[in-house]
């Protein structure tokens, strides 16, 4: 996945959120994402991260996304 594809996927799932995507190694398989959204209200940090990971389920299974570091914030 490209950085733009990662960002677009997150924007689809968190349309009013603040999204940032960083390619950590330049190989397009190690990512750090920051998602700030009101959709996280009432969720634990683990649940927030599980939601974000679910956005990339197929890519995580195939290894297209090898590593995903997640930072979330409730608005």
Question: What is the rounded distance in angstroms from the CA atom of residue 37 to the CA atom of residue 60?
Answer: 22
Q: In terms of Cα–Cα distance, which of 47, 20, 50, 22 is closest to 35?
A: 20
pTM of the model: 0.93
Q: Is 9 helix (H, G, I), strand (E, B) or coil?
A: helix
Please report the pLDDT score of residue 3 as a whole number: 97
Cβ-contact 49, 10 below 8 angstroms: no
Please report the pLDDT score of residue 64 as a whole number: 96
For residue 23, list its beta bridge partners: 31
Instruction: Please list the ranges in the chain whose pLDDT falls under 70.
Output: none
């Amino acid at each position: 996945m490209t950085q733009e594809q990662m960002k677009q996927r997150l924007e689809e799932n968190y349309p009013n959120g603040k999204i940032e995507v960083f390619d950590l190694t330049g190989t397009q398989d190690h990512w750090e994402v920051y998602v700030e959204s009101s959709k996280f209200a009432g969720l634990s940090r683990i649940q927030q991260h599980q939601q974000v990971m679910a956005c990339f389920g197929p890519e995580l299974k195939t290894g297209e996304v090898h590593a995903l570091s997640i930072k979330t914030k409730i608005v």
